[in-house]
Amino acid sequence: MWKRTIPFKVDIAGVIEIMGSSLYSRIDTPIRELIQNGHDAIMRRRTADLEYSGRIDVVQNVDRGTITFSDDGIGLTAEEAESYLGTLGIGITGILKGRQGLEAAEHNTGSGDDLIGQFGIGLFSAFMLADRLSVESLSVAGGEAVRWEAGPGTEIQLSQGTRTTPGTEITLTLKKHLEKFASEEQLLEFAIKQFADFIPIPIHINGASARVNVIQAAWFDSTLQRSDVEMEIASYFDESPLDVIPIHTASPVTIQGALYVSPQRTPGFTDDSVVAATIRRMVISRNIQDLLPPWASFLRGILELPDCSPTASREDLVRDQHFELTRRVLSDAIFEHFEELAQQQPERLEAIVNWHRFTLAGSALAEPLLRKILRDSYRFLTSDGELTFDEILKKSEADPIAESEAEYVIWCNADRRQEAYLSELFRSGQSICVHAIRSFEEGLLAALIADTTDAIVDLRIASPSSPGFAESILGMHDLEEATPDWQEYFDASEVKVSIASFATSQPVMAFLNERYELSKTLESLKNTGDIPRGFQRLIDAHFDAAPAGQNEVILNRQHRLIGRALSKGTRSPLANVTRLLVHNALQSAGAQTPRGAKSQLADDLDWIAEMLWGRD
C-alpha cells in the first residue's frame, strides 16, 4: 500500500479555452470583466473616502495592438497582486462578499455590498482577447507600485512598478486576429453600453471628456414622475411605450426599475418573456427569461435586482429561492398595476388589451388572475357591437318562463361565415350573439363563464340543435326531425334535416357546423396524404372523442312550396325543387358542396328543365 500527496495542476490555456467556448458566450466579455474590476476597486476606495468619486478610462493603441483599462480605485499591494491576481478562483471581491469564508475575509477590510464580482476568474477572461496581460497597480494605503505580467502559460512575472498614483492599469496585448478591438472605437463603446451603461462610475474612451455610459436612468429613481420615466424609456429603447410600470420594492426582495408595454406585437407563444437585469447597475443580461409571467411577452424593461445572484459567467441569474421570490413579487406587481389601470384608466387598459389581443386571449385560458382583468377590458364581437364579458352578461338574461335553471344564456357563434347572417337574426329579438371568431375567444368565453360562480350561466352554440334556439331566436315552433325517407333523400348533401313552422316568406334555413366543415377539410387532406401520420393520429383521436356533427337545414312546413312537397313525398317533382333550395341555402351560408351533391344538383336541374320544357 502506498499513497502520495500531489498538487492540483492547472492548464491555463485549457481554462481559457473553456471560458471562451463554454463559460462565456461573447468574445467581448473580457471588456465587461475588466470594467467590473475597476468598478469594484473604485467602490472599495469610496467606502473609505466619502469625497472621492473615481473614473475608469479605456484607451486603444492601434500601433501596439493594445487596449488599456485604467481606474483610480483602491489599488493593490505587491502581496495582494501575488495572492489574488495569479490564483484562479480567488478574488478580493469574492472574499469581501464572503464567498471564500470568514478566515480570508479577516485579512481584508470594507464591505461587499456595492461590489459586483465574486468568482476570481474575471482577469483570466482577458486571455480570450489577449496573448499577454500586464497589470500596474499602486495601493491607496501606500507602499511601492507593483507590476504583474503573464502570458497564457503558467509563469507570472512580478516586479516593481512605475505607477505614481493610486489605482490600477491593465493592458491587453491583443491576439492578431482580434486587433480590431484596438482600432475600432465603436466595438468598445458598444460593449461598454451593453454591459456598463448604468454603473455609477464614469467611463471614458481614448481620453474623451464626455463619458460613454449613461449612469443615471430615470427608471431607477423612485421619486420621479411616471411621465419622466416614460419619456426616458422611449428615448433609450427607441420605441414609445403603451404604458409604464414603475417597480420599487424593498421587501421581501429589493427591486428597482421599470417595465413597459411594448408597441411591438409578439407574434406567438414561442416568444419568451424577457427583461434586462442589473446587479449593482452592471447589466447581467438583457434577455433574462423566466422572471416575468409567461403571458407577459409584450413587457420589456430594466430591473436592478441586488438580491439575486449571477451565474459564474455573469450572463444570467441563478435560479434559486431569491430568483423565485423575485419572480413572484414581479408577477404580483404587474397584476396590481393592471387592476389599478382598470379602475383609474379603463380606456388605456382597453387599448393595451386590444393591441395585444392574441397573446392575452390565449394566455388567459390558463391564468385566472388575467381573466379577472380581461373580464371588463376585453371586447368580443357581438350582434350588438363590441362588448366586454360583463356587458354581454347584462344583455343575456334568460327568459324565466322558458328556462327553468339558467339565469343567463349566452349564444355563441364561432364561424366567421355566419357572422352577418346571425347578427341579422339576433337584432330582431332581445338576445345577442357573441361571435367568438378570433383566436382563443371561444375558450376564453367559456373560461369567463366558468369563473362566474355567483350565477348560473349557460353557453350555447347559435344553432337549431341547441335548446331554445329555434323557439326564442328563430321564432319557430313544432320543430322535429325529418322522417327517415326525407333524411335519406338529402344524404348526398350530408346535412341534418329538420322540419318546423316559421315565417312563411322563407322556405329553408341553413346553419353551418364549423367542426363539421373543418373535419371535411382535414379528411380531404388525409386522402391526399398531406398530413403527417403523427398529426393524423391526434386529429382522429380528437374527433373520436368529440364527433364533428353535421350542418343543419330546417324546412318550413308553413311555406307553400315546402308544405306541398312534404305532403307529396320524395318522389314528387317538388322534392327536386326542395333539394335545389336546400343546396342554395347551404351554399349561401358558405358550406362546401360534397361531390355526390354536385352530381345530384346537375340531375335535379336537368329534371326541372325537362318538366318545364319537355325533352328535346
Which residues 6+ apart lie within 8 Å of 12 measured at CB? 88, 124, 127, 152, 153, 154
Q: Which residues pair with 481 in a beta bridge?
A: 498
pLDDT score recorded for residue 20: 56
Tell me if the bond preceding 252 is cis, omega within 30° of 0. Answer: yes
Confidence of residue 88 (pLDDT cuts 50, 70, 90): low
| pLDDT (average), residues 118-130 | 76
pLDDT score recorded for residue 324: 97
Which residues 6+ apart lie within 8 Å of 411 measured at CB? 396, 426, 431, 432, 433, 434, 460, 461, 462, 466, 469, 473
3-class secondary-structure state, position 212: coil
Q: What is the pLDDT of residues 218-264, one digit of tens each?
A: 999 988 888 899 999 999 999 999 999 999 999 999 999 999 999 98
Q: What is the pLDDT of residues 534-590, one digit of tens each?
A: 777 776 776 676 666 788 999 999 999 999 999 999 988 899 999 999 999 998 888
Of 91, 82, 74, which Cα lies nearest the Cα of 38?
Answer: 74
Confidence of residue 593 (pLDDT cuts 50, 70, 90): confident
Residue type, 145: A
Q: What is the pLDDT of residues 174-185, one digit of tens each?
A: 999 999 999 999
Query: In order of start, what are the domains of the chain with their CATH numbers?
Result: 12-205 (3.30.565.10), 218-332 (3.30.230.80), 476-513+550-616 (1.20.120.790)
The bridge status of strand 551-556 relative to strand 495-501 is parallel
Q: Which residue has the cell 441569474?
A: 317
Q: Which of 123-137, 571-585, 599-613 has the lowest mean pLDDT?
A: 599-613
Q: Which residue has the cell 382522429?
A: 540
pLDDT score recorded for residue 17: 65
- Helix 346-355, helix 321-344: angle, nearest 10: 120
Confidence of residue 279 (pLDDT cuts 50, 70, 90): very high
| Structural contact between residues 433 and 413, judged by C-beta atoms closer than 8 angstroms | yes
Q: What is the pLDDT of residues 446-457, one digit of tens each?
A: 999 999 999 999
| pLDDT (average), residues 281-297 | 92
Question: What's the gap between Cα 329 and its chain centre?
Answer: 18
Which of 94-103, 169-178, 232-241 has the highest mean predicted lDDT (pLDDT)? 169-178
Above pLDDT 90, what percent of the chain? Answer: 61
| pLDDT (average), residues 411-421 | 91
Alpha carbons 139 and 122: distance in angstroms, whole number: 20
